[in-house]
Amino acid sequence: MKETPTPIIAIDGTTSSGKGTIAYKLAEHFGFNYLNSGALYRLIAYVIVQNGHSINDVEKAIETARNISPVFEGKKVIVEGQDIWPIISSQEWGQNASIISPIPELRIAVHELQRKMIQHPGLVAEGRDMCTHVFTDAHAKLYLDAHIEERARRRHKDELEKNTGKTLEDIIEEIRIRDERDMHPSRGNARLRPAEDSHIVDTSDMDISETLEKCINLCREKGVSI
Ligand code: DC
């Protein structure tokens, strides 16, 4: 696919690889719009349930995805004037999003919504199928990953702050299951894998600022500028 005139940075990666933080910081650095594609699936799940429907109602899920007009402001997800990100960022809404996300017609509607986010002066889009499916025409494609033990250590730090009582071993197991599900061939186009032309960034031995610097340089090498 030919590159769009508006620059796009697409980022895929494993859970807890740092892709969310890096994507947002890249958007800030370049002054671009920011798309958290997971938040879009979470938002659709939220609207389905808020409207009194079951999360397992496939027809309602498709209808909701086709009719929704999402409002994103940076990390905020605005519904009726209120930022609902603090609500939908929970495990529960992640789970609900994962229930609806495999529906093919829903993914087609979400694909259209995502492409509408290509707006001046540029876009940073993060998720699982950004480089491989939704933004195959991106100017810069990155795939963030880290050793499972390191990703679990990062998540464990957050869990300790939240006092969830989860051990490092619990989290390693959770991440292992999540990786397996995200990468499973049954997910078709939506499965997580590096695109052939993605640059793989291993963040295991890098902190956030080192990773950000590396990613900024990779984007610059691909011609993305402020
Ligand atoms: O990245 P996340 O945890 O916010 O994603 C929530 C769910 O949304 C995840 O379980 C699968 C789905 N998802 C997807 O299918 N494709 C994407 N590009 C992003 C998320």
pLDDT at 3 over 80: no
If you measure from the C-alpha of residue 37 to the centroid of ligand 1, how many angstroms do you get, rounded to a whole number?
7
Average pLDDT over residues 36-48: 97
At 189, is the pLDDT very low, low, confident or very high (cuts 50, 70, 90)? confident
Are the beta carbons of 15 and 182 closer than 8 angstroms?
yes
If you measure from the C-alpha of residue 41 to the centroid of ligand 1, how many angstroms do you get, rounded to a whole number?
6
CATH number, domain with residue 193:
3.40.50.300
Whether residue 32 has its Cβ less than 6 Å from ligand 1: no
pLDDT at 105 over 90: yes
Domain annotation covers residue 30: yes
Place of tokens 């939704």: 134
Domain annotation covers residue 35: yes
Between 178 and 111, name the one with better pLDDT: 111
Residues 6 or more apart whose Cβ sits within 8 Å of residue 119: 6, 33
Q: Determine if residue 80 is left, alpha or beta; phi over 0 gives left, psi from -120 to 50 gives alpha, anything else beta.
A: left
Q: How far is CA 173 from the centre of its chain?
A: 21
Residue 193: what residue type? R
Can you give the residue range of the structural domain that contains 152? 8-215
Q: Can you give the pTM of this predicted structure?
A: 0.94
Instruction: Report the nearest-CA residue for atom 16 of ligand 1.
Output: 128
When divided into structural domains, the chain yields a total of 1
Domain annotation covers residue 164: yes
- Beta-carbon count within 10 A of 58 CB: 12
Domain annotation covers residue 2: no
Average pLDDT over residues 158-184: 91
- How wide is the angle at C-alpha 159 spanned by C-alphas 158 and 162, nearest 5°? 95
Domain annotation covers residue 221: no
Q: Find which of 33-47, 159-173, 186-200 is predicted with most confidence, using mean pLDDT.
A: 33-47
Q: What is the pLDDT at residue 162?
A: 84
